[in-house]
A = this chain, B = another copy of it.
């Protein structure tokens, strides 16, 4: 590993000042085209790689963003990380990760650490029930529109409405919603949306998994078969994970999905399409969310950044979710709806985008 060449090495090799090399390489256009070319050439020849530490020190910008999540272990993390990484890279930023491991104190520590490392801004996906401490650094919060301080996020309530309406349209009248925590804003919005979309006719009730588990231990039965006996034909989980658990439990009880009951999820996790029956669910447009979050941060970091005039209005806080109808949902009368898996390719970029791109 030879010591990396620096600006002065190039300057010396050509016989110009390092200021000129810097100007040439950064393309500010104050250097004659010919010299510029010569410098670029020599830089390539020497294998010059600019040192970001030097640049960061002189400009006061690290061009690094911090990504802090409540729980890196969450299965949705890949979608977040991938989208944020992509949006940040496109904007010329790197992504430093922090894990709050569900703990508010750890979350604060993680944030402090990222600031110390020079992050120019922080994207925070907070844990449910967390109050965001004051942060001496630009922050973009991805939570849910109803959370104060939320910057941008999926419209979980609208996603819930899609699910609720879908189930109602199939003809269900008895709906059981499966949630995990009562103190999650995201889940509260999803559930509120589901109830709204489903309407007031019939019967709707909500099961809280953590309450059940507090009594009966982890992995316990949710008692879904009993609900089916009471007439419930539709089960809407606030996460694909819980939907999977519901499907499992129902099938174990000898009930068939979707012949006897319908199950829906939330989030369109990686495997949702490959189980059988494939899971009807709703999915965030992570690409858009990430792009808006990064754009918001850049606006805070570089106030002089030119914003396209049509974006003068506040950016949309709530990015619509998309319903993905798969075979786990059917009418309660047994007639399967056509299985229109409109998400049959694995390339997220080809997902239909629901809004104008607010590109930075």
Contacts and interface: CB of A to CB of B under 8 A. Distances in A.
Interface of A: 1-2, 4, 49-54, 56-57, 62-64, 67, 72-75, 77-79, 81-82, 85-86, 89, 94-99, 112-118, 136-137, 218-219, 241, 244-245, 248-249, 251-252, 269-271, 273-278, 341, 344-346, 348
Given A94-B96, A96-B94, A252 B276 contact: yes
Contacts of A219: 273-274, 278, 341, 344
Contacts of A270: 73-75, 241
B86 A81 contact: no
Contacts of A89: 113
A241 B274 CA distance: 8
Contacts of A53: 53, 56-57, 62, 118
A114 B50 CA distance: 12
A54 B2 CA distance: 23
A169 to B, nearest CB: 25
A4 B120 CA distance: 13
Contacts of A244: 271, 274-275
Contacts of A50: 116
18 contacts: A4-B136, A52-B116, A53-B56, A53-B57, A57-B57, A64-B117, A72-B81, A73-B82, A75-B271, A77-B81, A81-B97, A85-B98, A95-B97, A96-B97, A218-B346, A245-B271, A245-B275, A249-B276
Nearest to A119: B94
Contacts of A54: 57
A341 B136 CA distance: 46
B275 A52 contact: no
Contacts of A241: 270-271, 274
A116 B49 contact: yes
